[in-house]
Amino acid sequence: MSILVTGGTGYIGSHTIVELLEAGFDVIVVDNLSNSSEDVIDRIEKITGKDLSFYNIDLLNKKALDLIFHENSIEAVIHFAGYKAVGESVQLPLKYYQNNIISTLNMCEVMEKYGVYNLIFSSSATVYGYPERLPLDETCSTSALNPYGRTKLMIEEILTDLSNSNRKWRIALLRYFNPVGAHNSGLIGEKPNGTPNNLMPYITQVASGKLEKLYVFGGDYPSKDGTGVRDYIHVVDLALGHLKALKKIDILSGIEAFNLGTGIGYSVLEVIETFEEASKVKIPYEIVSRRFGDTGICYANPVKANKHLNWYAERDLFEMCKSAWDWENTREFISI
Ligand code: NAD
Ligand code: UD1
């Protein structure tokens, strides 16, 4: 029996596959390489010393997806595939609805056809919109701030309807906070297209001299230093959360949402300071006005995942910054 991982050559998927293989699972990877490259498969095989089956297919192609289920014995699906750029989703909402929603519908239809009912879905803290209260727990109200976030919310609702329709479904909605960092092998990590939008990849590119300085969005939030606060989580801890969810999926009651965060919020200035310690590089920055659509302070209450999945984030901000910096320095020079 195998675990099917969609979007498996992407940032979070690749780290999760490493943990799955190291825990002894057989893994089948599906990705259309729209935001990743095939050499990630070689890199995962190099890290783990294990083989992977890779299908370069688009999840919008339901026939091709059906064939994978026909050819393999699949016990669960971890569904990472999707587009994730907030700004682009505002410009091109149909692209996001088409890809994220239709891919998920196709996946669920094929799973149902083949009697596969275990699903782990990549959701996001973005479903909490502007936080109702802090720390955010899974009972907080949800809303969407942009089309990307709306796809996550819509998919959560679709999966809830599906679970209500048939008691066989076991679905974990994993709401990620802010994944950062990279694998300690230096072989896999995040590869942003063009100028990064997110804080950590922007900082690493300032540190390496690719970008001149960091613009800190907002110095007037109600945080200790006025800059925005987030719950950064090491991507390896996040990957391990999927492993824990998979091991517990049989005892989930239908559909369950879990926050995957550390429970600790750090301000932008604290991240800069820790990054400087980890890299020994000074980060020039300028505080500018708030970014449109940003929330000020956001961090998780991860107690549900601690208790029900027996999962705890273990890696601290220093390790996140250090691994992000190591990846920035190695990724262009390693050939497999
Ligand atoms: P990523 O872009 O690195 O990985 C997604 C992968 O999906 C890519 O390799 C891409 O080629 C593939 N893909 C996209 N559409 C596809 C399709 N139609 N068919 C087949 N493959 C397709 O992104 P990531 O950071 O690894 O994120 C994984 C998931 O987690 C996404 O659903 C994202 O929305 C969600 N998420 C990410 C973050 C984050 O900060 N990275 C935060 C919260 C939630
Ligand atoms: C972004 C997405 C969100 C997604 C999340 C995780 C936006 C508007 N939101 O949120 O939907 O779920 O990533 O992938 O893109 N910052 C700067 N300067 C920068 C970049 C960021 O000061 O150049 C600040 C931000 O204002 C924020 C913090 O750094 O306070 C983190 O920003 P970012 O990494 O973009 O994550 P989110 O804002 O949480």
In this prediction, residues 34-57 reach a mean pLDDT of: 97
Instruction: Please report the domains of the chain, with CATH numbers, ordered by start residue.
Output: 2-182+232-261 (3.40.50.720)
- Is the beta carbon of 14 within 6 A of some atom in ligand 2? no
Q: Tell whether the model's pLDDT for residue 333 goes beyond 90.
A: no
- Point out the ligand 1 atom lying closest to the alpha carbon of residue 152: 34
pLDDT of residue 124: 98
What are the DSSP calls for 77-102, one per residue?
EEE--S---HHHHHH-HHHHIIIIII
- Point out the ligand 1 atom lying closest to the alpha carbon of residue 31: 21
The three-state (H, E, C) secondary structure of 13-54, written as one string = HHHHHHHHHHCCCEEEEECCCCCCCCHHHHHHHHHHCCCCEE
In this prediction, residues 35-44 reach a mean pLDDT of: 96
Nearest listed ligand to the Cα of residue 82: 1
pLDDT of residue 336: 52
Q: Whose CA is nearest to atom 11 of ligand 2?
A: 126
**Mutational pocket test of ligand 2: of 134, 198, 233, 238, the residue with most ligand atoms within 8 Å of the beta carbon:** 198
In this prediction, residues 55-74 reach a mean pLDDT of: 98
The tokens of 119 are what? Answer: 């699903």
Which stretches within 196-267 are classed as H helix?
Answer: 199-207, 235-248
In this prediction, residues 21-30 reach a mean pLDDT of: 98
Instruction: Summarize pLDDT for 182-192 with one digit per residue, the tens.
Output: 999 999 999 88
pLDDT of residue 68: 98
Model confidence band, residue 335 (pLDDT cutoffs 50, 70, 90): low
The tokens of 184 are what? Answer: 């300690």
Choose between 335 and 87: higher pLDDT.
Answer: 87
pTM for the full model? 0.98
277 CB neighbour count, 10 Å cutoff: 12
- Is the beta carbon of 230 within 6 A of some atom in ligand 2? yes
Q: Kindly report the CA angle at 176 between 113 and 73, in degrees rounded to 5?
A: 25
> Residues 170, 111: contact at Cβ < 8 Å?
no
Of the candidates 4, 6, 48, the residue with the CA atom closest to the CA atom of residue 187: 48
Model confidence band, residue 332 (pLDDT cutoffs 50, 70, 90): low
pLDDT of residue 279: 98
- The average confidence (pLDDT) of the chain is 97
pLDDT of residue 216: 98
Distance (Å) from CA 284 to ligand 1 centroid:
30
CA distance 273 to 180: 16
Q: Whose CA is nearest to atom 31 of ligand 2?
A: 199
Distance (Å) from CA 74 to ligand 2 centroid:
36
Q: Tell whether the model's pLDDT for residue 228 goes beyond 80.
A: yes
Is 114 one of the catalytic residues? no
Model confidence band, residue 45 (pLDDT cutoffs 50, 70, 90): very high
pLDDT of residue 43: 97
pLDDT of residue 253: 84
Distance (Å) from CA 45 to ligand 2 centroid:
32
pLDDT of residue 19: 98
- Point out the ligand 2 atom lying closest to the alpha carbon of residue 296: 30
Q: Whose CA is nearest to atom 16 of ligand 2?
A: 199
pLDDT of residue 236: 98
Of the candidates 16, 128, 146, 131, the residue with the CA atom closest to the CA atom of residue 83: 146
Of the candidates 45, 44, 7, the residue with the CA atom closest to the CA atom of residue 29: 7
As for ligand 1, residues whose beta carbon falls within 6 Å of it are 7, 9-13, 30-36, 58-60, 80-84, 99, 103, 122, 124, 176, 179
> Residues 323, 182: contact at Cβ < 8 Å?
yes
Cβ neighbours of residue 154 under 8 Å, at least 6 residues apart? 101
